Amino acid sequence: HNVDGKPMTLCVHRKGATRAFPPGHSEIPPEYRAVGQPVLIPGDMGTNSYVLVGTEQAMGEAFGSTCHDAGRVMSRGEIFDSLWAGDGTSSENIVDVYIGYLRKKLSPPEDFAAEIRTVRNKGFVFSDPGDTPRPAGSAT
């Protein structure tokens, strides 16, 4: 992997993510080599499904990782713990600040494929405009 312009051997731990190689990569089966490794992100009866492919840009920026938890609702505490817990300087209020920044960047919603929704008493979720997000584990 390339890290800050230097080739390095790394062990990449992907939590909630899947690897996707770009077109031409030797580890992709020949039938996919021309387009890149496909990644399926399943939806359910209330959300869309997606088919993505790996890119060179993704290899450089995220070691070829792509999400696979589409539609998952995360509480403020879960977001805080995954991003800032242990830094000793932040409180959970920082989540609201960054959610606000992201919402401004993603508006107007018709210009973007996703928006951030608040799910009452549950948390936040990225969703397609018009989708009705549901908490993980809820009935469909």
Active site amino acids: 68
CA distance 30 to 13: 26
Distance between CA atoms of residues 12 and 98, nearest Å: 26
Sign of CA dihedral 85, 90, 96, 97: negative
Alpha helical stretches, state H, 21-133: 56-62, 76-83, 93-105
